[in-house]
Structure 1
Amino acid sequence: MTTNTNNTTNSTNTKNVLAVISPHVGGRSVGAALASVFPEQAHVTVVETTDENPEALRSAHVIITGLGPVTAEHFAAAPDLELVQCASHGFDYVDLEAARQHSVHVCNIGSSGAEKQNVAEQTFALMLALAKQLVPAHTALTEADWALPRLQQSITELSGKTLGIVGLGHIGEEVARRAVVFDMNIVYAGPNPVAPEVAARLGNARHVPLDELLRTSDYVSLHAPLTEDTHHLLDAPRLALLKPTAFVINTARGALIDQDALADALTAGTLAGAGIDVFDPEPPTAALRLLKAPNVVLSPHVAGVTRETLVRIALAAVQNVVEHLEGKPVRDVVS
């Protein structure tokens, strides 16, 4: 256990903050840096799992979590808990129903835009790697195989292709803005259409039903939150709607896709390829079939973790907690 204390716990104005930073996103070292930017009215205890320090959990007024699960049992064990702040866009690792039952706000950093630049860049890195066949080309050359005759039939352009964006929020808009520069046609699916001026700015992006998006897109990029309604949003029947020349990109949450169904489609050749940055679970096990599927480009959930992004994420999460500690309204309430 590592505890970072910004003042004593005896002050009547002090609130106890439990910072849960999972090892695979930096653990104690990242947690210590996060704790250092809190103001004096916060007593911060840094842990790598929510169960690590039962006393700190019991006395916590705020939990700030970087992918560390907060379950119903954790809510029950923290009677003074007021706020759970996710240091991410995602919030699927927090039991929202338990939060509602205990009248605890859960917030993410959605409106901050902290991750949108790099997630959009990573999305295009994956798209370009697939379009230009960079991974098989690199592998062939390292094995002294001049693969040009074999690869030239599968190398494609982004220009003129249709990009289907599932979830045109802060990140989805950044992806669409870049797609305009690549002369791509943009369609998007989601609960509501964006304002006409936003659609015009994004190349006259069209709002369409999800199934139509899947049937017509050359690239499908997922930017939706993971909820009960979006779990396995792309299952076997929906993957079957895609053109055999289409590519799927996922930089959002692994469980948005049925990973076995995706591996089946890639193996059968009914889908051209996939660029995947997120998995279910994380880290993935060696048994994950996607790791051996043909024409995939994989990265270990790095879309939101540049040096610049990590600073923005930390500051956005801490700022929201500080607003709460000062009695001000918090932003990005998801429950």
Structure 2
Amino acid sequence: MIVMDLDNLYEVMCWEPHRLTINKWHAMGKPYVLASKPGGANGIIEDFAAIIEKHFTIVCNEEFINNNKQFADKIEAVFVWSYLPNTDRDLLQSLPNLKVVVNGGVGVDHLDIPLISSFGVKIANTPNVVDNATADLGMALLLASARRLIEGYKIAMAPSHLPQSFMGCEVSGATLGIVGMGRIGYKIAQRARGFDMKVLYHNRNRRSEEEENTVGAQYCEKIDDLLRESDFVMLAVNLSPQTRKLIGERELSLMKPTGTLVNISRGLVVDQDALVEALQNGVIHAAALDVTYPEPLPRDHPLLKLQNVLILPHIGVNTYETAQNIVERMVTNALAALSGRPVPDEVKP
């Protein structure tokens, strides 16, 4: 039982509202967060559940669906991981005390931000902590595609002789065009410099001269110029109405016939039908994709049948270290929202 005289209570309410909120939590127990089952197919890695459980009581999405009346009034936060739980209108209406939806990762295109905000609920994501892992994977895709690593592995594992015609593309000294020079794009440029690549970039806003010089990057005001000059085109933009199908038939036709398209952003940034045709008809040499639409692709999709395509199952941030950092940052954002403090990574509507 917590005892506090009226004068002290008034002082706390006036001067320490955050402490009052935290004291309320201590009196009532840990706040409740709705999330996919840790360790499940679409859940946070089970090893990191303890990071959440230190501050929250986790209600698994499946448990909530089966018994939402028991938890609806208690849940104050939703943690979205691998696009689940689905924060649609029905869910929002069922959670009267919800204060924040926190997305594990940067991209929030799968969240209806105006809808969530209309319920007075804050939204947060986890930028910065994913930059290195995503940039690393972008370079890994570029290198694996250029040197045909998957094909080489299959030859090495099969009882067949390596054909003399098995040749890859040189990366050192090649031109890399980065579309989207935000945090991740800049990290990619840093890595490309280590391979002595010439770096071009196209962005809504030009970087400072000092930043350009640090990574040896040259700004292309028009994306067409970047596409024409690049041996490798790396897409590192957020998905928005402006970037949806940013790369289509026209843009692919501007690329070199020897060019490779690398996409680590979102599948819908590329017109996938146009990409299939470009790869089939030799308009471009190859593609390396961490993202597609939908994910996963139907097993009969033509992209899966092409030899000049390397596809990964959207694993750009899938490292142990980054996943832990994401979960820790999700907790930080949620605690801030629940205590009435500014949310560090709030996504404004």
Instruction: Using the TM superposition, give the Cα deviation of residue 313 of structure 1 relative to its aligned residue in structure 2, in angstroms.
Output: 1.0
Provide the residue aligned with 1:45 in structure 2: 59
Instruction: Using the TM superposition, give the Cα deviation of residue 192 of structure 1 relative to its aligned residue in structure 2, in angstroms.
Output: 0.8
| 1:182 corresponds to 2:182 | no
Q: Tell me the TM-score normalized by structure 2.
A: 0.83
Provide the residue aligned with 1:145 in structure 2: 160
Unmatched segments (≥5 aa) in structure 2 = 1-22
Moved more, 74-83 or 179-188: 74-83
Go from structure 1 to structure 2 and tell me whether the alpha carbon gap of 1:30 and 1:76 turns closer, same or farther (over 3 Å shift).
Answer: farther
Go from structure 1 to structure 2 and tell me whether the alpha carbon gap of 1:204 and 1:261 turns closer, same or farther (over 3 Å shift).
Answer: closer
Provide the residue aligned with 1:18 in structure 2: 34
Q: Distance in 1 between matches of 2:271 and 2:58?
A: 38
Contact 2:101 2:122 in 1 (8 A): yes
Provide the residue aligned with 1:97 in structure 2: 114
> What letter is aligned with 2:153?
H
RMSD of aligned residue pairs (Cα, Å): 2.7
Contact 1:244 1:270 in 2 (8 A): yes
Instruction: Using the TM superposition, give the Cα deviation of residue 16 of structure 1 relative to its aligned residue in structure 2, in angstroms.
Output: 3.0
| 1:305 corresponds to 2:318 | yes
**1:250-265 maps to which residues of 2 (within 5 A)?**
250-265=263-278
Q: Distance in 2 between matches of 1:175 and 1:136?
A: 25
Contact 1:254 1:279 in 2 (8 A): yes
Q: Distance in 1 between matches of 2:102 and 2:139?
A: 29
Instruction: Using the TM superposition, give the Cα deviation of residue 52 of structure 1 relative to its aligned residue in structure 2, in angstroms.
Output: 6.0
Moved more, 214-223 or 48-57: 48-57
Provide the residue aligned with 1:173 in structure 2: 186
Q: Tell me the TM-score normalized by structure 1.
A: 0.86
**Number of residues paired by the alignment?**
322
Instruction: Using the TM superposition, give the Cα deviation of residue 123 of structure 1 relative to its aligned residue in structure 2, in angstroms.
Output: 1.0
| 1:77 corresponds to 2:90 | no
Contact 2:200 2:226 in 1 (8 A): yes
Q: Distance in 2 between matches of 1:133 and 1:54?
A: 50
Moved more, 180-189 or 227-236: 227-236
Contact 1:21 1:28 in 2 (8 A): no
**1:1-335 maps to which residues of 2 (within 5 A)?**
11=27, 15-20=31-36, 23-26=40-43, 29=46, 32-37=49-54, 39=55, 42-47=56-61, 51=65, 54-55=68-69, 56-57=71-72, 59-66=74-81, 67-68=83-84, 69-110=86-127, 113-152=128-167, 155-334=168-347, 335=349
Contact 1:250 1:275 in 2 (8 A): yes
Provide the residue aligned with 1:4 in structure 2: none
> What letter is aligned with 1:142?
M
Q: Does the residue aligned with 2:284 lie in a helix, a strand or coil?
A: coil
Go from structure 1 to structure 2 and tell me whether the alpha carbon gap of 1:139 and 1:14 turns closer, same or farther (over 3 Å shift).
Answer: closer
Instruction: Using the TM superposition, give the Cα deviation of residue 65 of structure 1 relative to its aligned residue in structure 2, in angstroms.
Output: 0.9
Q: Does the residue aligned with 2:292 lie in a helix, a strand or coil?
A: coil
Instruction: Using the TM superposition, give the Cα deviation of residue 216 of structure 1 relative to its aligned residue in structure 2, in angstroms.
Output: 1.9
Go from structure 1 to structure 2 and tell me whether the alpha carbon gap of 1:8 and 1:323 turns closer, same or farther (over 3 Å shift).
Answer: closer
Q: Distance in 2 between matches of 1:288 and 1:30?
A: 35
Contact 1:19 1:31 in 2 (8 A): no
> What letter is aligned with 1:16?
Y
Q: Considering only CA atoms, is the larger Rg found in Structure 1 or Structure 2? A: 2
Instruction: Using the TM superposition, give the Cα deviation of residue 139 of structure 1 relative to its aligned residue in structure 2, in angstroms.
Output: 2.1
Provide the residue aligned with 1:3 in structure 2: none
Q: Distance in 2 between matches of 1:328 and 1:9?
A: 15
Go from structure 1 to structure 2 and tell me whether the alpha carbon gap of 1:212 and 1:283 turns closer, same or farther (over 3 Å shift).
Answer: same
Q: Distance in 1 between matches of 2:207 and 2:67?
A: 45
Instruction: Using the TM superposition, give the Cα deviation of residue 236 of structure 1 relative to its aligned residue in structure 2, in angstroms.
Output: 2.2
Go from structure 1 to structure 2 and tell me whether the alpha carbon gap of 1:86 and 1:178 turns closer, same or farther (over 3 Å shift).
Answer: same
Contact 2:234 2:261 in 1 (8 A): yes
Deviations 1:106-135 (A, max 9, x none): 21111xx22222211111111111111222
Contact 1:8 1:43 in 2 (8 A): no
Q: Does the residue aligned with 2:340 lie in a helix, a strand or coil?
A: coil
Contact 1:27 1:48 in 2 (8 A): no
Contact 1:120 1:175 in 2 (8 A): yes
Instruction: Using the TM superposition, give the Cα deviation of residue 30 of structure 1 relative to its aligned residue in structure 2, in angstroms.
Output: 6.2
Unmatched segments (≥5 aa) in structure 1 = 1-6
Instruction: Using the TM superposition, give the Cα deviation of residue 76 of structure 1 relative to its aligned residue in structure 2, in angstroms.
Output: 3.1
Deviations 1:273-293 (A, max 9, x none): 111112222232213221112
Instruction: Using the TM superposition, give the Cα deviation of residue 34 of structure 1 relative to its aligned residue in structure 2, in angstroms.
Output: 4.8
Identity %: 30
Moved more, 71-80 or 196-205: 71-80
Contact 2:201 2:217 in 1 (8 A): no
